[in-house]
C-alpha cells in the first residue's frame, strides 16, 4: 500500500457518515472522490470532496481505497458489482452497522481486491451531508472485521486511517460484533421506537403526555428519529442477534413488571441498583477513554 | 398571601431539586430555610440557604410557604405530621413525581393550611446539592394539581413563583398527570433499567458490548443512573398507571419483534416511520416552547 497521504480515496455515499469522513480526512490524503445518487446530497457535500458525481465506475477506477458509507442493502449490492471495477491491490472498507452478511460478501470478492469490514461506533439521529461533522469520529471505537480478502497490510492501512481521524481501531469477529451491537445499539433503537409509539397511543385521547414530556423522554426517544431506511436495513441484516436480544430484554422487563405488580420493593430495589451500578461503571470508563483520545 | 418578595420559604430536602430551587429563588423572596436529615447535604447546600438545619418544626414555624423536595414516601410522612406545625394560611407545595397519593394526603390537611400538588418536569440523573443548578427549572413545564386545600389565591401564588424561576405552570388533575408521566417518564426509566441489565447479561461471557457501546447507549441508558430510592418510591406510588403503560409497551415491542421475525419489511417500515414522525413532531414543538421561555 502507498502512504496515506499519497492515497486517492473514493467514498460511496455522501450522507452523514461519508461526508463527516471526508471532512476528517481532508489534508491527510491525496484526493477524496464522492459518489452519490442523490442530487441533494451531491449539492450539500460538494465542497467536502475533490470530485463528486453519480458514476460509481468513474469514481472508483483510479482509487487506492474505496469506502462504502451507504445503507447495508446498498453495500451488499455494491460489493457484488465492484470487484471488476477496482484496480489490483485496491482496498475496500465499509461502515455498515451489521457485519456478518457484509464480511461474507467481501469473502467472495476477486483475489486482486483487499477488503476489510468496518463499523465506527458514532453517529447522530440527524442525517445527510448538512449534518456532517469533522469531529464525529474523534474518540469513537472503530470496529474492524477481517475477511478472506484482508492482508495484514490492508488491516494496518485501515488502522492508520482510523487513527488519523481520531478514532480507536478494535478488531473482532463479525459474529461478536453483531451480538454486541444488537444489545447496545439495535435494541435501544427498538425500545425508543416502542416507547414513542406507546406514548403516541396513550396520547390519542388526551395529549397531556406530549405536554409534560421533557429531557428524560427526549434522550430515551432520540434514536426513534434515526433514518428509517438505514435502520430497516440494519434490523433485517442483524435479525437473529436482535431477536435474541429482544428475548433477554423481555425477561428483564417481565421481572421489573412482576416486582412492581406484587409491590416487592426488595426485589425491585435489587434490579434498580444493579442497573444503576452497571451503567455508572460503564459511563465512567467510557468518558475516561473518550477524554484520553 | 403576601407578595413573593416578602415571603419566608422553607424547602424540605436540599438535594438536587430543593437546592436548585433555592438558587433559582435567591433575591426573589425574603428568606429561604433549608431542612435536611443528611449532614452531607446540609454541608453541600449551606451557602444556598439563609438558614439550614435538621429540625423540621423550627424551620417551618415562621414560614409562609413550605416546599417538599424529598422522595414520595417522605413527602407522605411529612404531610401527615406538618399540619399542626404550620401557621394559619401557610402554603404547602410538593415536587413529587406521582400526584394522586400526595393530593389525597393533602386533601386531609387541617383547614388552616393551603396545599397544592406540584411536579416540575426537569431533573438530571445526578443528585445531591453539588449538582444543583439555578437554571434547571428554566423553560420546564411545572404541573400543578389542585387539592381540597387549594384556594384560588394559593394557586395564583404558586403560579407566580413558578414564573419567577422561569418555568411554565400547567394545571391538570392528578389522575391525568399520573397516566401521562407513567408513559413519558416512568416507562422510559424502566426501559433504561431493562436495557442496562440486558447488556449486562449479554456481556457476562464476552465484554464486547461494553467496548462498542457509545452515544446511543449513553442516552438510552442515562435514566438507569437515577437515584434508586427516589425511583423506587415513584414506581410504587404510580403502580397502576405504570403497569398500564407496560402493557401498551409490551404490545408495541411485540409488533416490532413479529415484523422482524417474519421479515415483514412493509410492516416494520410502517412502525418505524410512525415513531420517527411522532418523535420529530414532538421534539420540534418542545424545542420551540423551551426557546420561547
The ipTM assigned to this model is: 0.92
C-beta of residue A279 within 8 angstroms of C-beta of residue B221: yes
Strand order, beta sheet including A91-94: A51-53, A31-35, A8-12, A65-68, A91-94, A114-120, A141-145, A168-171
Q: Inter-chain contact B252–A201, Cβ cutoff 8 Å?
A: yes
Testing the interface with A: which of B177, B213, B229, B246 to mutate, by most A Cβ within 10 A? B213
Contacts of B234 in chain A (CB under 8 A): none
Q: Provide the percentage of residues in chain A whose pLDDT is more than 70.
A: 99
pLDDT along chain B (293 residues), means of 10: 93 97 97 97 96 95 96 96 95 97 98 97 87 94 98 96 97 97 97 98 95 94 94 96 98 98 97 98 92 67
Look at strands A114-120 and A91-94 and give their pairing: parallel
**What is the pLDDT of chain B when averaged over all its residues?**
95
Give the C-alpha distances (Å, rounded to integers) separating B234 from B102, B111, B136: 11, 28, 21
The answer to whether residue A81 scores a pLDDT higher than 70 is yes
Query: Can you tell me the distance from the alpha carbon of A186 to that of A98, in angstroms, rounded to the nearest whole number?
Result: 10
pLDDT digits (tens, 9 = 90+) for B206-222: 999 999 999 999 999 99
Find the helix packing angle between A239-261 and B239-261, rounded to 10°: 160
Query: Can you tell me the distance from the alpha carbon of A261 to that of A275, in angstroms, rounded to the nearest whole number?
Result: 19
Q: Inter-chain contact A216–B245, Cβ cutoff 8 Å?
A: no
Residues 6+ apart with CB under 8 A from A205: none
Contacts of B270 in chain A (CB under 8 A): none
Residue A70: pLDDT band by 50, 70, 90 thresholds?
very high
> Residue A290: its pLDDT value, please?
81
What residue of A is the nearest CA neighbor of B217? A184
Beta partners for B51? B33
Taking the CA atoms of residue A159, residue A164, residue A167 and residue A173 in that order, the dihedral angle to the nearest 10 degrees is: -10
> Residue A96: its pLDDT value, please?
96
Query: Can you tell me the distance from the alpha carbon of B259 to that of B246, in angstroms, rounded to the nearest whole number?
Result: 20
pLDDT digits (tens, 9 = 90+) for B220-263: 999 999 999 999 999 999 999 999 999 999 999 999 999 999 99
Contacts of B212 in chain A (CB under 8 A): 121, 141, 143, 170, 177, 180-181, 184-185
> Residue B127: its pLDDT value, please?
86
Query: Can you tell me the distance from the alpha carbon of A184 to that of B21, in angstroms, rounded to the nearest whole number?
Result: 36
Residues 6+ apart with CB under 8 A from A12: A18, A35, A36, A56, A59, A60, A66, A67, A68, A69, A70, A78
Query: Can you tell me the distance from the alpha carbon of B54 to that of B70, in angstroms, rounded to the nearest whole number?
Result: 14
Contacts of B256 in chain A (CB under 8 A): 190, 193-194, 246
Q: Inter-chain contact A180–B202, Cβ cutoff 8 Å?
A: yes
Distance from B188 to chain A by nearest Cα, in Å? 6
Using CB atoms, pick whichever of A198, A208, A286 lies closest to residue B248. A198
C-beta of residue B51 within 8 angstroms of C-beta of residue B33: yes
> Residue B293: its pLDDT value, please?
60
Count of CB atoms situated within 10 Å of the CB of A262: 10
Query: Can you tell me the distance from the alpha carbon of A21 to that of B46, in angstroms, rounded to the nearest whole number?
Result: 49
Query: What is the DSSP-derived secondary structure letter of residue B251?
Result: H
The answer to whether residue A293 scores a pLDDT higher than 70 is no
In A, residues 209-248, which contact B (CB 8 Å cutoff)?
209-226, 228, 231-232, 235-236, 239, 242-243, 245-246, 248
The answer to whether residue A2 scores a pLDDT higher than 80 is yes
DSSP assignment of chain A = ---GGG-EEEEE--SHHHHHHHHHHTTTSSEEEEE-S-HHHHHHHGGG-SEEES-HHHHHHT-SEEEE-S-HHHHHHHHHHHGGGSPTT-EEEE--S--HHHHHHHHTS-TT-EEEEEEES---S--SGGG--TTTTTT-EEEEE--TT--HHHHHHHHHHHHHTT-EEEE--HHHHHHHHIIIIIHHHHHHHHHHHHHHHHTSS--HHHHH--HHHHHHHGGGGS-HHHHHHHHHHTHHHHHHHHHHHHHHHHHHHHHHHTT-HHHHHHHHHHHHHHHHHHHHHHHHHHHT-
Residue A123: pLDDT band by 50, 70, 90 thresholds?
confident
Query: What is the DSSP-derived secondary structure letter of residue B64?
Result: S
Contacts of A274 in chain B (CB under 8 A): 197, 200
Q: What burial letters (b/e) apply to B128-150, b meaning 16+ CB within 10 Å?
A: bbebbebebbebbbbbbbbbebb
The answer to whether residue A291 scores a pLDDT higher than 80 is no
The answer to whether residue A292 scores a pLDDT higher than 70 is no
Using CB atoms, pick whichever of B197, B212, B226 lies closest to residue A252. B197
Interface check A142 vs B, CB under 8 A: no
Strand order, beta sheet including B65-68: B51-53, B31-35, B8-12, B65-68, B91-94, B114-120, B141-145, B168-171
> Residue B138: its pLDDT value, please?
94
Query: Can you tell me the distance from the alpha carbon of A118 to that of A127, in angstroms, rounded to the nearest whole number?
Result: 19
**What is the pLDDT of chain A when averaged over all its residues?**
95
pLDDT digits (tens, 9 = 90+) for A15-56: 999 999 999 999 999 999 999 999 999 999 999 999 999 999
What does the block give as the cell for B292? Answer: 420561547
Locus of grid cell 436495557: B195
The answer to whether residue A124 scores a pLDDT higher than 90 is no
In B, residues 55-114, which contact A (CB 8 Å cutoff)?
none
Amino acid at each position: 500500500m502507498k502512504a496515506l497521504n499519497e492515497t486517492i480515496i473514493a467514498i460511496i455515499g455522501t450522507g452523514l457518515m461519508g461526508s463527516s469522513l471526508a471532512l476528517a480526512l481532508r489534508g491527510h490524503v491525496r484526493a477524496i472522490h464522492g459518489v452519490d445518487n442523490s442530487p441533494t446530497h451531491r449539492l450539500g457535500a460538494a465542497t467536502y470532496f475533490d470530485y463528486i458525481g453519480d458514476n460509481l465506475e468513474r469514481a472508483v477506477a483510479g482509487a487506492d481505497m474505496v469506502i462504502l458509507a451507504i445503507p447495508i442493502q446498498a453495500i451488499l449490492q455494491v460489493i457484488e458489482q465492484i470487484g471488476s471495477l477496482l484496480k489490483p491491490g485496491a482496498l475496500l472498507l465499509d461502515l455498515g452497522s451489521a457485519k456478518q452478511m457484509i464480511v461474507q460478501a467481501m469473502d467472495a470478492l476477486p483475489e486482486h481486491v483487499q477488503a476489510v469490514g468496518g463499523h465506527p461506533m458514532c453517529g447522530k439521529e440527524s442525517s445527510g451531508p448538512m449534518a456532517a461533522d469533522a469531529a464525529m469520529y474523534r474518540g469513537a471505537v472503530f470496529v474492524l472485521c477481517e475477511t478472506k480478502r484482508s492482508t495484514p497490510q490492508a488491516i494496518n492501512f485501515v488502522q492508520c486511517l482510523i487513527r488519523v481521524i481520531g478514532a480507536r481501531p478494535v478488531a473482532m469477529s463479525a459474529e461478536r460484533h453483531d451480538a454486541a451491537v444488537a444489545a447496545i445499539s439495535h435494541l435501544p433503537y427498538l425500545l425508543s421506537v416502542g416507547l414513542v409509539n406507546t406514548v403516541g397511543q396513550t396520547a390519542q385521547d388526551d395529549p397531556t403526555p406530549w405536554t409534560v414530556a421533557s429531557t428524560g423522554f427526549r434522550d430515551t426517544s432520540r434514536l426513534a428519529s434515526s433514518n428509517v431506511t438505514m435502520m430497516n436495513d440494519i434490523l433485517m441484516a442483524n435479525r437473529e442477534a436482535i431477536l435474541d436480544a429482544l428475548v433477554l430484554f423481555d425477561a428483564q422487563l417481565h421481572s421489573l413488571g412482576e416486582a412492581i405488580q406484587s409491590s416487592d420493593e426488595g426485589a425491585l430495589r435489587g434490579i434498580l441498583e444493579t442497573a444503576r451500578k452497571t451503567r455508572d461503571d460503564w459511563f465512567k470508563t467510557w468518558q475516561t477513554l473518550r477524554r484520553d483520545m
